[in-house]
Amino acid sequence: MGVSLFWRMFMSNALVLAIAAALLIGPWVTVSSPVLLREALVIGGGLTAMLAANALLFRVGLAPLERLTKAMADANLLEPGLRARVTGHGELAQLTDTFNVMLGRLESERAASSGRVLSAQESERRRVARELHDEVGQTLTVVILQFKSLADRVPKDLREDVVTAQETVRDSLDEVRRIARRLRPGVLEDLGLASALRALVLEFAAPGVTVTHQVDASLPALGGQAELVLYRVAQEAMTNAARHSQASTISLGLRSAGECTVELIVRDDGQGLHGTKEGAGLLGMRERALLLGATLTLTSGDPRGTTVRLRVPLPKDGAV
């Protein structure tokens, strides 16, 4: 084991004081009474040299602690993989190594807890979507049929109002079904990720907004969890672009980026992220990326536009 920080600092100061004492005891420096100007200058210069030497020694000795402090301040469990650099030996090296081990354990626990939370969220989404479809949807369908029957029996001067109410309920039914599809993407489960992303793009097509997509036909095999994460991140990114960025063009791309990586890219020409704080949506995307050990980056163009990029690593067997 190396010399402890205490003894390194103690011996450094002892060495400086020993040199100063040797100079005073030896014939090189004498002190008169009263002190002469020349002697005062020598003593002042010696004191300045001692302080400079102490400052340099403390700076060198405490540099690893400063690096560790910066690493602690920069640590972010939503951006795993960052570690403090272990330098030197002794107590500070052990402290840095212990911090890295602790950070790795916290990242693993955060990923596990995020997985449980997201799994519970998806289960709740499926339950709510099923109730919207089976309960609310059926009730609204019955109301539409009742309005249709009523429209055939009411006087002509009231028929238009009944038909208007019927169309309002029909629009509400379409909205309930749309919400249910967003909560539980049945097309993802039935037809796979490529078809689900194409359907997602169609949902965001609107007057004044051009939405395009390009999905690589030769994607490697993906597991259900990876497909769900990619779909949810794409859904959130396109929702942000459509609702908050005032974009006129939105593009979605999914491609292979090497043999063991799949990359999702969502771009828009909106107002960008300049000065925007990350909300629950962006935090949710980072949580999902953490679940797969993926890398999520958000960049703003100059002066406009936002790019959301999710790189999902695949294991050697090609499934997640």
For residues 209 and 85, state if they share a domain. no
Q: Is residue 89 part of a domain?
A: yes
209 to 237, 238, 268, 277: CA distances (angstroms): 15, 12, 10, 25
Higher-confidence residue of 110 and 101: namely: 101
Higher-confidence residue of 257 and 311: namely: 311
75 pLDDT higher than 60: yes
pLDDT tens digits, residue range 192-247? 888 888 888 888 877 888 888 888 877 877 888 888 889 889 988 888 888 877 88
CB half-sphere exposure, 33, CA atoms < 13 A? 0
Q: Is residue 202 part of a domain?
A: yes
Q: Is residue 59 part of a domain?
A: yes
Q: Which of the listed residues 108, 139, 162 is the one where a domain comes to its end?
A: 108
Higher-confidence residue of 47 and 32: namely: 47
User: In 10 A of CB 201, how many CB atoms?
Assistant: 18
For residues 320 and 202, state if they share a domain. yes
pLDDT band at 276 (very low <50, low <70, confident <90, very high): low
pLDDT value for 252: 92
> What does pTM read for this prediction?
0.63
Higher-confidence residue of 156 and 250: namely: 250
For residues 97 and 190, state if they share a domain. no
Q: Which residues contact 175 (CB under 8 A, 6 or more apart)?
A: none
Q: Which of the listed residues 108, 135, 155 is the one where a domain comes to its end?
A: 108
Q: Which of the listed residues 55, 89, 108 is the one where a domain comes to its end?
A: 108
**102-110 mean pLDDT:** 80
1 pLDDT higher than 50: no
Give the mean pLDDT of the chain.
78
For residues 205 and 319, state if they share a domain. yes
**248-271 mean pLDDT:** 87
**Residue 80, domain extent:** 5-108
Report the number of distinct structural domains present in the chain: 2
For residues 206 and 310, state if they share a domain. yes
Cα–Cα–Cα angle for 135, 139, 143, rounded to 5 degrees: 170
For residues 196 and 320, state if they share a domain. yes
Higher-confidence residue of 35 and 151: namely: 151
CATH number at residue 290: 3.30.565.10
Region label for 82, one of left (φ > 0), alpha (ψ between -120 and 50) or beta (otherwise): beta
For residues 102 and 231, state if they share a domain. no
2 pLDDT higher than 60: no
pLDDT band at 265 (very low <50, low <70, confident <90, very high): very high
CB half-sphere exposure, 143, CA atoms < 13 A? 16
For residues 190 and 314, state if they share a domain. yes
